[in-house]
């Protein structure tokens, strides 16, 4: 399964002030989950090079995390840092929406 360490993107920073902390919640290795992870890696490489850290949580292995982290949809990407907390649900296929959701680009909000 996807390991947090291996999932960490290239050019990982060591938790500095600017480092984005992202968590991707999946439930097993479904095509949708894999697509989400691929999309996430791509977006991060393009927009957050060297400034991000991704943790992948498989809820089938850690069901307790679903309640603890308040996840109900799969897949869900959570931006822990920087605040405020943001949630992006879906396979992250619509890049523009992901960027808006992650506040990497100003959107309709």
Partner 1 sequence: MGARAPISCDDDVLERCPTGIKGLDEVTEGGLPRDRPTLVAGHAGCGKTLLAMEFLVRGARQYGEPGVFVSFEENQKDLFKNFRSLGFDLRDLVARKLLAIDWVRVERSEIQETGEYDLEGLFIRIGAAVDRIGAKRIVLDTIESLFAGLTNEGIIRAELRRLLRFLKEKGLTAIVTGESGPGGRFTRQGIEEFVSDCVILLDHRVDSQLSTRRLRIAKYRGSAHGTNEYPFLIQRSGIDLIPITAIGIGTRTTTERVTTGIPRLDTMFNGQGVYADNSVLITGTAGTGKTTLVCHAVDAACRAGRKATYFAFEESVPQILRNLRSVGIDLTPWQESGLLQFHASRPDLWGLEMHLLTIEAEVEKFEPAVVVLDPITNFANVGDIIEVRQMLTRLVDFLKERGVLTLMTSLTHGGDELEATNVAISSLVDTFVMLGWVRSEGERNRRLNIVKSRGMAHSNQTREFRITSAGIQIQDVYTGAGGLTGAAREAQEARERAAAARLAQDVERRRALVLTRKEAFEARVRSMHAEFEAEQAAMLQQIAQDEEARASATVESQALAKLRHADREGNGDAD
Residues that bind partner 1 (CB under 8 A): 25, 27, 32, 59-60, 63-64, 66-67, 70-76, 84-94, 97-98, 100-102, 109
Shortest distance, position 9 Cβ to partner 1, whole Å: 18
Shortest distance, position 51 Cβ to partner 1, whole Å: 20
Shortest distance, position 33 Cβ to partner 1, whole Å: 10
CA distance 8 to 77: 14
Question: Is the Cβ of residue 49 or residue 93 nearer to partner 1 in the bound state?
Answer: 93
Write the CB contacts of 58 (distance below 8 Å, at least 6 apart in sequence). Answer: 1, 2, 26, 27, 28
Question: Is the Cβ of residue 1 or residue 73 nearer to partner 1 in the bound state?
Answer: 73
CA distance 76 to 85: 13
Handedness of CA 64, 17, 8, 41 (dihedral sign): positive
CA distance 53 to 51: 7
Question: Is the Cβ of residue 18 or residue 105 nearer to partner 1 in the bound state?
Answer: 105
């Amino acid at each position: 399964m996807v390991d947090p360490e291996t999932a960490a993107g290239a050019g990982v920073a060591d938790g500095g002030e600017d480092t984005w902390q992202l968590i991707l919640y999946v439930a097993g290795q479904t095509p949708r989950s894999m697509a989400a992870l691929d999309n996430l890696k791509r977006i991060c490489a393009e927009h957050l090079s060297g400034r991000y850290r991704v943790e992948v949580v498989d809820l089938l292995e850690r069901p307790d995390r679903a309640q603890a982290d308040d996840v109900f949809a799969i897949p869900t990407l959570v931006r822990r840092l920087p605040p405020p907390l943001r949630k992006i649900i879906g396979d992250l296929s619509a890049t523009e929406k992901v960027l808006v959701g992650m506040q990497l680009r100003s959107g309709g909000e």
